[in-house]
Amino acid sequence: MNYAVSFRPTPVLPVVESNQVFPVGRIYCVGRNYAEHAREMGHDPEREPPFFFMKPADAVVQNGATLPFPRTTKDLHHEIEMVVAIGRDGADIPVEKALDHVFGYGVGLDMTRRDLQGDAKKMGRPWEMGKAFDDSVPCTALKTVAMVGHPARGAIWLKVNGKIAQKGDLSEMIWNAPEMISCLSRLITLKAGDLIMSGTPAGVGPVRAGDRLEGHVDGIGDLTVAYSK
């Protein structure tokens, strides 16, 4: 192939205990999937069906990275999330078949420029500039289903500079993994390589230059990212 501009390789995530890597396709994020977080953002979690937004694949950052503080924000927020990696294409997937489409799981951060997202919400505009910016998806290596099963409960937490900021349990998700896969696959055809970020528990808050974030999901892994001064 003779590319007219420099070719950009597909972003990848490592697979734990494997020499294979997972090619990242599209990244779908579930909004307000924990009741306490929906409430802290001023919404009633009982009345809302799941909704999705996206981030670009090349926003993925490897575990352990030190990142420049993102531009054009004065209110960068952390959102720790379980990441579902899709291993098999599918559309209109029934809930009871949804887990057959999962390759594995990771721990990710849905980094958010909350000020830009807030402005967009107020003006009824798209969220992308609040969500889909450079380096906005730090993520661990993936654990396959064979290694981790399908985690439906277990602690999920985030520490900022060693202090707990977010804490929840996967069992508190309003829409579980099979439900989010099924819902999303009715809107678009899911493809192997897609990631789904499954929403964040309560406790989202600001990140400043020089901060160190440590995230954890029981059984899946630990994520560390630092922001340079």
Stretch that binds Mn ion, among 70-78, 88-96, 152-160, 192-200 (CB under 5 A): 192-200
Contacts (CB under 5 A) with Mn ion, residues 146-165: none
Contacts (CB under 5 A) with Mn ion, residues 73-102: 79
Contacts (CB under 5 A) with Mn ion, residues 23-82: 79
Query: Which position among 38, 84, 102, 110 is part of the footprint of Mn ion (CB under 5 A)?
Result: 110
Instruction: Count other C-beta atoms under 10 Å from residue 202's C-beta.
Output: 17
DSSP calls for 157-181: EEEETTEEEEEEEGGGBSS-HHHHH
Residue 204 C-beta: closest distance to Mn ion, Å: 8
Tokens standing for residue 194: 């897609």
DSSP calls for 61-86: EETT-EEPPPTT-S-EEE-EEEEEEE
Those residues with Cβ within 8 angstroms of residue 160's Cβ, 6 or more apart along the chain or in another chain: 78, 205, 207, 211, 212, 213
Q: Is 216 exposed, middle or buried (0-12, 13-18, 19+ CB in 10 A)?
A: buried
Stretch that binds Mn ion, among 17-25, 85-93, 185-193, 200-208 (CB under 5 A): 200-208
Residue with CB nearest Mn ion? 110
Using CB under 5 A, count the residues that bind Mn ion: 3
Q: Check binding of 182 to Mn ion (CB under 5 A).
A: no
Query: Which position among 200, 203, 217, 225 is part of the footprint of Mn ion (CB under 5 A)?
Result: 200
**Site of interaction with Mn ion (CB under 5 A):** 79, 110, 200
